[in-house]
Structure 1
Amino acid sequence: MNSYEKFALIYEDFMQDAPYDQWLKWLLRQFPNLASMQIADVGCGTGTLTRQLASHSPNVFGVEPSDYMLGVAAERALEERRKVQWFCQDARFLRLPQPVDLLVSTCDALNYLLTGNDVKCALSNFWRSLKPGGAVAFDVIGAGRLEHLKNGLSYDFRENEAILFETRVEPEDKIFYELHAFIETENGLYERFEETHQQQYYRASDITAWLEQTGFEVWYLQGDFGETSLEGSNRMVFSARKPLDSAG
């Protein structure tokens, strides 16, 4: 079992503060016909939001580039008896079996795409994956969180595991996370593994321009679902529509 596979097993424990519930409430409020919609969750991780969406809609796709994360997601869905179709795909090469009404990508999944061209490629794939009149909704790292990540240190503990994050922001807003995790083994000793993650910060103006260049109509842009300003936000929340008269 490699380090990324181990991280997949404890990922949900350390994502308990992620805004999955907030995202679900927002989606239910903005899309009251969610139960009749075909939905794709791109960059779904271990599928927490995906499974929540599947409790409201019988037609949900979960898309994740890590097969380890996807394996955990599928296992959790089976345990909870949630019907989800899973796909191991990168957003830059997204190909769904059929167009959807709603595509979501949450918890700064797009920040793992390290160039503007990568993001533009993903947005083009989102466009092609949506039905005319469909919508995309996603969040990216906000300026407030970027500031917090500069030379940051955080940690969390559970009954039989611990994790330490060291973060830094390098020139051109490149974000690095040094992960140190300790997991208790069957003999009571702790096994240590380490991993490095990289993300890229993007400005709201750039993402808005890329959405519009793709053909989307941006209708929602708020900091933390409207709770903060964009300038001080942890997450910038976007939603955009594909016009009804669109082709492709």
Structure 2
Amino acid sequence: MEPDTQTFTCAMIPPAPVTLDRRQGPFGEVVLRRSGQHLETFEIIANGCFLMDTSDGRSERLLIDAALAALPVGRTGPSVLIGGLGVGFSLVRAAEEERWGRIVVVEREQAIVDWHREGPLGRISGAALADPRTEVLHTDLVAHLRTATERYDALCLDIDNGPDWTVTEDNGSLYSPTGLAHCHDRLTPGGVLAVWSAQPSPAFEQALRNAGFSRVGTEEVAVARGVPDVVHLASKAH
């Protein structure tokens, strides 16, 4: 008997994504939806542009691991600021590591905070949010870096899709000479800046050097198709 080709083909086609929430905020529209063959993947869309999903997370975890590994040997209880809560992978990775002291997450979209605290993303980040070391600041990262007086041992920034691909115009200033100067100011001596990017950026590496950072480099995570995800690393001199 010939197989039912039509039935087989239909079974292989993933269902259409399902929108779980849609919010209009001060920086535009943000959407949470589920996708995949069994609608098992959460996605965050901002202003119509895909930001991230829960299908992998290796590069978001590398953002935290690489920053910790790059800190000076012997530094105890280092503090980390995570720029962007996203789907929560970076926060969860930080909370899993006992060596981190204070963990501060800056997220400007109230919708994303709500999806974690009261919505379906809580199944990913619930334990990390309950960790006594964790504090979530609902504010704009660029403004926080400009106005804060506290210094951190590590800045782990995952904003939009990296320095060469921002979704909102304001975020572009984070990667400007002024924005990088604010990052430099917010770090303790020997502190580390780690920046996630959807693609390598030699121009951004040079911008980091121009901003006074040392030990500038990149770590890559291969993806199924296209260029690798990248974590840009740079240190502040002692």
> TM-score range, shorter-chain basis?
0.5 to 0.7
Matched, 1:71 2:114: yes
Q: How does 1:7-86 map to 2 (within 5 A)?
A: 7=32, 10-11=42-43, 14-19=53-58, 20-31=60-71, 36-56=77-97, 57-74=100-117, 76=122, 77-80=125-128, 81-83=130-132, 84-86=134-136
Work out the number of aligned pairs and report it: 179
Identical pairs, percent: 15
Task: Check conservation: 1:93, 1:122, Cα contact below 8 A.
Answer: no
Question: What SS does structure 2 have at the residue aligned with 1:50?
Answer: helix
Q: 1:124 to 1:91 in 2, by over 3 A?
A: farther
Pick aligned residue for 1:100 from 142, 152, 157: 152
Q: Is the 8 A contact 2:67 2:193 kept in 1?
A: no
- The CA RMSD measured in Å over matched residues stands at 3.3
**Could you tell me which of 212, 228, 237 is aligned with 1:234?**
228
Amino acid corresponding to residue 14 of structure 1 in structure 2: D
Instruction: Find the counterpart in structure 2 of residue 119 from structure 1.
Output: 175
Which residue of structure 1 aligns with residue 190 of structure 2? 133
Q: Secondary structure at the residue paired with 2:56?
A: coil
TM-score by length of 1: 0.58
The answer (yes or no) to whether the contact 1:137–1:239 under 8 Å persists in 2 is: yes
| Counterpart contact for 2:63–2:196, Cα < 8 Å | no
Q: Name the structure 2 match of 1:159.
A: none
Q: What are the ranges of 5 or more consecutive residues in structure 1 without an aligned counterpart?
A: 144-203
Matched-pair contact (CA < 8 Å) for 1:38–1:100? yes
Q: Distance in 2 between matches of 1:59 and 1:128?
A: 18
1:129-168 mapped onto 2 (5 Å cutoff): 129-142=186-199
Alignment partner for residue 217 of structure 2, among 185, 203, 220? 220
Shift of residue 236 of structure 1?
2.7
Instruction: Give TM-score, length-normalised by structure 2.
Output: 0.61
Give the match for residue 13 of structure 2.
Answer: none
Task: Give the 3 Å change call, closer, same or farther, for CA 210–89 of structure 1 in structure 2.
Answer: farther
The letter of the residue matching 1:221 is: T
Matches within 5 A, 1:182-221: 204-221=201-218
Tell me how far apart the structure 2 counterparts of residues 209 and 64 of structure 1 sit (CA, whole Å): 27
| SS of structure 1 residue aligned to 2:32 | helix
Structure 1 residues 58 and 8: alpha-carbon distance in aligned structure 2, compared to 1, 3 A threshold: farther
Q: Deviations over 1:61-93 (max 9, x none)?
A: 001121111233445355553231111233322
Counterpart CA distance in 2 for 1:102 and 1:8 is 31
Change (3 A) 1:6 1:123: same
Distance change (3 Å), C-alpha of 1:78 and 1:35: farther
